[in-house]
Amino acid sequence: MKVKDSYKLLNIVIAFAVTMFFSCKNNYDEVQQIGVLQNEPIGVADTINLKYTDSGKIKADLVSTKMLDYSNRDFEFTEFPQGIKLTLFADNNKKSVITSDYAISYSETDLIDLRGNVVIVTQELDTLFAEQLYFDQKKEWIFTNRPIRFVSPEKIMSANAYDSNKDINVYGLSEITGIVYLD
């Protein structure tokens, strides 16, 4: 009788061990996310000044009062809910300043989405006003398919689409809705 009880106990222990073995899984990513809500940023920064350099020259300077890092998402992005001031420096020492009320930068696509009172001012005092613009960091190209107003010392133009290089010296306006020449 004692042998039967020991076999029963051994069978129970083996069944319990096998159940525990098959219920375990490798969930390191889940363990890392403990305490981090999926919809919350993984990092928050206040008052940032980020400089991008290439070959010892400053190419861009980004200033913002708040940055939220969502690199914990499948499609990583960085959000600037209080807006940005982005200064782009050209090879000929000319600069353009872009400001917006809100911006979001996508890591995978290197695209910055600028929204709300977007203004670009060039060194020649050409100024572009838009509600939304995109800046492709790889191609160094600025574009939108939303209405814009372009003001230069010679004229004021409005259009329904815009694209330009980062220096704003090569640009295209599509669907021009008005031109006013200044004296």
pLDDT at 17: 67
- Go through the chain and tell me how many residues it has: 183
Q: Which residue has the tokens 């492709």?
A: 136
User: How far apart are the C-alpha atoms of 144 and 174, rounded to whole Å?
Assistant: 10
Given a contact cutoff of 8 angstroms between Cβ atoms, the answer to whether 64 and 48 are in contact is yes
pLDDT at 166: 73
pTM, whole model, 2 decimals? 0.73
Domain spans in the chain, listed from the N-terminal domain onward: 39-181
- CATH, domain 39-181, list 2.20.25.10, 2.40.50.100, 2.30.60.10, 2.60.450.10: 2.60.450.10
- 24 Cβ neighbours under 8 A, 6+ residues apart: none
Tens of each residue's pLDDT in the chain, 183 residues: 566 667 677 777 676 666 666 665 666 666 555 555 567 889 999 999 989 888 888 888 999 999 999 998 889 999 999 999 999 888 777 888 999 999 999 999 999 999 999 999 988 888 999 999 999 988 888 899 999 999 988 999 999 999 988 767 667 888 888 888 887
> Mapping DSSP to helix (H, G, I), strand (E, B) and coil, where does residue 146 land?
coil
